[in-house]
Amino acid sequence: MEFSKKLQQLPSQFFASLAQKVNTAIAEGRDIINLGQGNPDQPTPSHIIEALQEAAENPLTHKYPPFRGITELREAAAAFYMREYGVTIDPQTEVAIVGGTKIGLVELPLAIMNPGDMMLLPDPGYPDYLSGVALADVQFAAMPLLPENKFLPDYDALSEDIKEQAKLLYINYPNNPTGAIATYDFFKETVAFAKKHHIAVAHDFAYGAIGFDGKKPISFLQVEGAKDVGIEFYTLSKTFNMAGWRVGFAVGNAKMIEAIQLLQDHLFCSLFPAVQHAAAHALSAEQNAVEQLRATYENRRNVLVEEAAKIGWQVKAPAGSFFAWLPVPQNYTSEQFTDLLLSKADVAVANGKGFGEFGEGYVRVGLLVSEERLREAMQRIAALGIFHK
């Protein structure tokens, strides 16, 4: 038996390869400081776990859920957007529940594009966007995210041919992997660009709760006209440390939402109802734990930047997300530097090239270990003698 041609076209799973290298090193008995992962290290807040326990004890949650999710969760998502961003969402027509936003991001091209259509992807960007390209059998054009443009795409730099061919645009702020944030003016420009060229927009708002220096990341949907052209994906994985729960949602343009719903009607029967009830509780309850988590990441970011500066590694502090985007030293490629840190310092980072062509020259570092481990990682790297104070 052979795999289908569609499966054979899938890109290699970057994160699986990274995890395999780290796990092999750990199996050898080495003390690896893993800064390459994107897996939250803190537990889910106890009040959310209690909500799950209570819901799971109700026999009604043991039955099949409604195909398009429970009303309570759709309404909670809409109320969350009004409370946090002042955005009006119709819970009946403008919310789609997804089993983690990775599913939504990968399935969206299948829902609204035809084979051979063109989509626009950020480079560097979340590698799994490319899975959607392969599964939908569409083409893509890269939008370079460059430091001189604050890691925002330059729509004017795209050729007229690409602009006219494009059917779907992905953006992601706070950004993985660069840690950049978007401005209101950029989102306004995005809406105008999308309307002019008849392009649908999907904003991956996975790190929406994680902004630093007193600046709360804004929602794409806060911009006038955004719902005319696009949707936003929001995951509970990062905001509430619910990565393993696999729950998120898309909100916005009703036609795009309906396309997702229709596709999912044929793929899934929604999520375990108890998880949905707990997710609704997470969105609706007090948010003190969210602010505490954000502060934890900001403190870790500050430690990382300070300790890096001490060893002569000058890095720019990320404005959001729980990642930092660090330049590799001269005379090293991203892959060479990544391999060196793992083999000689027992420090794992993510190779920037894994996020796209324009990720070359960088590594991604996660703020997902304690401040003490961040300091130790920098001390191990300093011992290599690569950087000079």
For CA atoms 30, 353, 379, 299, give the dihedral sign.
negative
Do the first three CATH levels of 5-44+288-382 and 46-284 match, i.e. the same topology? no
CATH match of 5-44+288-382 with 3.40.50.740: no
- 46-284 folds as Aspartate Aminotransferase; domain 2 (3.40.640)
What digits encode the pLDDT tens for the residues 222-271? 999 999 999 999 999 999 999 999 999 999 999 999 999 999 999 999 99
Task: Find tokens 């991001």 and name the residue.
Answer: 105
Contact 213, 248 (CB under 8 A): no
Contact 328, 361 (CB under 8 A): yes
Q: Classify burial at 96, counting beta carbons within 10 Å of its beta carbon; exposed 0-12, middle 13-18, buried 19 or more.
A: buried
Structure tokens at 64: 């099949």
Contact 323, 172 (CB under 8 A): no
Is residue 182 over pLDDT 80? yes
Listed by start position, the domains of the chain span 5-44+288-382, 46-284
At 373, the pLDDT band (50, 70, 90 cuts) reads very high
What digits encode the pLDDT tens for the residues 44-60? 999 999 999 999 999 99
Closest by CA position to 210, among listed 305, 129, 323: 323
Structure tokens at 358: 């324009």
Integer CA distances (angstroms), 11 to 7, 132, 323, 354, 363, in order: 9, 10, 23, 11, 20
Work out the angle between the directed axes of helices 46-56 and 273-284 (0-180°, nearest 10).
140
